[in-house]
Amino acid sequence: MAKQANTLSLGTDNIGSLLWRYAAPAIIAMASNSLYHIIDSIFVGHGVGGAAIAGMAITMPIMNIAGAFGAMVGVGAAARMSIRLGEGNMQAAEKTLANAVMLNFVLGLVLMVVMLTFLDPILHLFSGGNASPETLKHARDFMKIILLGNMTQHMYLGLNEQIRASGYPQKSMRIILTAVAMNLILNPLFIFKFGWGIKGSALATVISQAISFIITFSHFCSKSSFVRFRRAAFVFDWKIVKAIISIGLAPFMVNICASMVAAFVNTALLRYGGTGAHDVVKTAGSADLYVGAYGIANRVVMLLIMVIQGLNQGMQPIVGFNYGAKQYDRVRKALFMTIGCGMTISTIGFLCCQLFPQTIAEMFVDSARGADEALMIAAASQAMRLIVIMFPLVGFQIVAAAFFQYIGHAKLAIFVSMTRQMLFLLPLLWIIPRHLGATGVWISMPIADCASITLAAILLYKELKRLK
pLDDT in tens, 67-115: 888 888 988 888 888 778 877 888 888 899 899 999 999 999 999 999 9
pLDDT for res 453 = 94
Across the chain, mean pLDDT equals: 87
| Pairwise pLDDT comparison (460 vs 370), residue with the higher score | 460
The mean per-residue pLDDT over the stretch 288-296 comes to: 91
pLDDT for res 346 = 95
pLDDT for res 285 = 66
pLDDT tens figures, 350-401? 999 999 999 999 999 877 777 788 899 999 999 999 999 999 999 999 999 8
Question: In the predicted model, is pLDDT for residue 1 greater than 50?
Answer: no
Question: In the predicted model, is pLDDT for residue 172 greater than 90?
Answer: no
∠ CA 330-29-161 to the nearest 5 degrees? Answer: 65
Q: 3-state SS string over 251-295? A: HHHHHHHHHHHHHHHHHHHHHHCCCCCCCCCCCCCHHHHHHHHHH
| 435 Cβ contact list (under 8 Å, min separation 6) | 276
Number of domains in the chain: 1
CA 261 vs CA 82, 142, 400, 423: distances in Å: 32, 21, 21, 11
Instruction: Report CA torsion sign: 358, 364, 369, 372.
Output: negative
Question: In the predicted model, is pLDDT for residue 240 greater than 60?
Answer: yes
Angle 169-188/150-165 helices, nearest 10 degrees?
150
User: Which pLDDT band holds residue 7 (cuts at 50, 70, 90)?
Assistant: low
The amino acid occupying position 70 is: G
Residue 411 burial by Cβ neighbours in a 10 Å radius (0-12, 13-18, 19+): exposed
Phi and psi, residue 42, nearest 5°:
-65, -50
Residues 397/449, Cβ–Cβ less than 8 Å: yes
| Pairwise pLDDT comparison (314 vs 200), residue with the higher score | 200
CA distance 31 to 308: 9
Question: In the predicted model, is pLDDT for residue 2 greater than 60?
Answer: no
The mean per-residue pLDDT over the stretch 27-49 comes to: 83
Q: Which of 85-99, 190-204, 421-435, 452-466 has the lowest mean pLDDT?
A: 85-99
Distance of CA 456 to the CA centre of its chain: 20
> What is the percent of the chain where pLDDT is above 70?
97
In terms of average pLDDT, the best of 245-259, 261-275, 283-297 is 261-275
SS3 content of the chain, % helix, strand, coil (to 5): 85, 0, 15
Domain containing 210 equals: 2-467
